[in-house]
Structure 1
Amino acid sequence: MYIEISESKEDFEKLEKLKSNFDWFYTNYEELRSDYINQYVTVKENRRSDNDYDFEKFLKRALFT
C-alpha cells in the first residue's frame, strides 16, 4: 500500500486548522450537547457556525454556502 504524504505548507495549515476545530469541539462538547439537543452542529474557526434539526437542510447549507 502506498501512502502519499504532503509536505506543502498549505496542507499543513489546513490540518492545523482542522485540529484546532476538533479540539474546540471536544472542549465544548457538553455545552453544545445541552444547548443543541438532537441537532446537527457545524464548527468553523473554533465556534459553532450552524445548527439544524433537519439533516438535509443542514447539509445543503454546509456544502453550498
Structure 2
Amino acid sequence: MIRLTRLNGEEFVINCVQIERIESIPESNVILVNGKHYVVQESVEEIISRTVDFNARILASAQRLKD
C-alpha cells in the first residue's frame, strides 16, 4: 500500500499491486487493473519510487521471517 494525494489535497492509500499503468497528463493518472483511475499530485517517478519501497519492505519482512 502506498499513500497518494488527490489534486484537492486529500490523502488516500492505494494497493500498488493493483496498478496497471500510470499516465502523465501532466498530473499523474493512476489506472488500476479494475479500470478505476485516480488523478494525483505525485509524479510518475515518485509513485514508482514508493512502489519500489513498498515491495522492498515486503521482501525484507519475508526474509526476516525466513531467518
- TM-score in terms of structure 1 length: 0.37
More helix by share: 1
Higher Cα Rg, which structure: 1
TM-score (norm: length of structure 2): 0.36
